[in-house]
């Protein structure tokens, strides 16, 4: 299998350092064009049958979810562990079926600060497939990944907001670093492939 992602060792080292320091790192324009087109098709079809998901506690969120198809599964089963995670972490990973899906955030959708489950989400990959442009103000836009520290009384304190334009990939230690997404405004959307991995 020829590599599609082709992450050079120096870039892998920079990403690893960023993840160690902030928990997450964003790779801009990282989804290869042909794969991206196939993901856009599959994700667009999946939107039509997605189920809305909503909860107020213990974790508050609102979004819509749909299972991965052939294109998404091939990516998370084979290419992502070998071509993205192995170079960055110098470790072998396998994807977690029950925690990988297409996730659709649209107006009024959001995801409160949380940790991903450590057993099935040691490392998280988010492929941003189709999104509106992130606005100027991260505090008011749902098109950023918010990273939090534990504040006093375990209140999450915003540490950093990372813009998440389409075509990019976020990689991070989602089970160790609190993260979330502000409520999306009218006209905002972000459709992504959410994938979780455990080391083997
Ligand atoms: Fe998460």
Cα 143 to Cα 165: distance, rounded to the nearest angstrom: 8
Diameter of the chain by CA atoms? 50
Contact assessment for residue 175 and residue 21, using Cβ atoms and an 8 Å cutoff: no
Which residue reads 């974790």 in tokens?
59
Cα 128 to Cα 36: distance, rounded to the nearest angstrom: 9
Cis peptide before 58 (omega within 30 of 0): yes
The yes-or-no verdict on residue 77 having pLDDT over 90 is: yes
The Å distance, Cα 2 to ligand 1 centre, comes to 30
DSSP class per residue in 88-135: HHSS-EEE-GGG-EEEEE-TT-EEEEE---TTT-SEEEEEEEEEPPP-
Which residue reads 């540490």 in tokens?
159
pLDDT of residue 160: 93
Q: Would you give the end-to-end CA distance of the chain in angstroms? A: 21
pLDDT of residue 169: 98
CA distances from 195 to 77, 141, 156 (A): 10, 23, 24
In this prediction the pTM is: 0.95
pLDDT digits (tens, 9 = 90+) for 19-58: 999 999 999 999 999 999 999 999 999 999 999 999 998 8
The Å distance, Cα 179 to ligand 1 centre, comes to 6
pLDDT of residue 1: 56
Contact assessment for residue 143 and residue 176, using Cβ atoms and an 8 Å cutoff: no
The yes-or-no verdict on residue 111 having pLDDT over 90 is: yes
Q: Which helix (H) or strand (E) holds 16?
A: helix 9-22
* Ion ligand 1 residues within 5 Å by Cβ: 116, 174
Q: Tell me what the pLDDT averaged over the chain comes to.
A: 94
- Range of weakest confidence among 12-21, 33-42, 115-124: 115-124
The Å distance, Cα 112 to ligand 1 centre, comes to 9
The Å distance, Cα 120 to ligand 1 centre, comes to 11
Domain architecture of the chain: domains with CATH? 26-199 (2.60.120.620)
The Å distance, Cα 50 to ligand 1 centre, comes to 19
């Amino acid at each position: 299998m020829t590599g599609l992602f082709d992450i050079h060792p120096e870039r892998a080292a920079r990403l690893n350092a960023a993840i160690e320091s902030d928990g997450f790192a964003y790779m801009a324009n990282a989804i290869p064009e042909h794969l991206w087109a196939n993901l856009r098709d599959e994700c667009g079809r999946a939107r039509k049958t997605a189920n809305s998901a909503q909860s107020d506690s213990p974790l508050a969120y609102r979004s819509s979810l749909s299972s991965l198809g052939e294109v998404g599964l091939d990516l998370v089963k084979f290419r992502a562990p070998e071509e993205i995670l192995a170079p960055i972490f110098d470790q072998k990973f396998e994807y977690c079926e029950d925690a990988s899906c297409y996730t659709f955030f649209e107006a009024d959708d959001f995801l409160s600060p949380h940790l991903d489950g450590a057993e099935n989400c040691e490392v998280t990959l988010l492929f941003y497939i189709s999104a509106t442009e992130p606005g100027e103000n991260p505090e008011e836009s749902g098109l950023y990944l918010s990273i939090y520290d534990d504040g006093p009384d375990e209140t999450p304190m915003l540490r950093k907001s990372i813009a998440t334009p389409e075509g990019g990939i976020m990689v991070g230690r989602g089970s160790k670093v609190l993260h979330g997404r502000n409520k999306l405004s009218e006209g905002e959307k972000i459709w992504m492939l959410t994938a979780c991995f455990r080391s083997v």
